[in-house]
């Protein structure tokens, strides 16, 4: 079994359950996504972030 600690976005409590035992909200995984230096989608993600933030690229 792969247990990951989860966090309730509503009340901020940590649990191992899918549903928060305190407020009943669906919990989210508290761990960041795995990092890979050979990220195949990194260029697209950075381009989208620049577009959303309105940052122009210097070349």
pLDDT tens digits, 35-53: 888 888 888 988 999 999 8
Confidence of residue 1 (pLDDT cuts 50, 70, 90): low
- Domain boundaries along the sequence of the chain: 1-31
Distance CA 28, CA 12 (A): 10
User: What pTM was estimated for this model as a whole?
Assistant: 0.55
Strands (DSSP E) along 1-59, which ranges?
6-7, 14-15, 28-29
Q: What is the pLDDT of residue 35?
A: 80
Nearest 5°: the CA angle 49, 55, 57 is 100
Q: What sign results for the dihedral spanned by CA atoms 45, 47, 53, 59?
A: positive
């Amino acid at each position: 079994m792969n247990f990951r600690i989860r966090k309730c976005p509503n009340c901020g409590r940590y649990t191992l359950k899918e549903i928060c035992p305190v407020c009943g909200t669906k919990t989210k995984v508290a761990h960041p996504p795995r990092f890979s230096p050979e990220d195949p989608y990194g260029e697209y993600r950075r381009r989208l972030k620049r577009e959303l933030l309105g940052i122009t690229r210097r070349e």
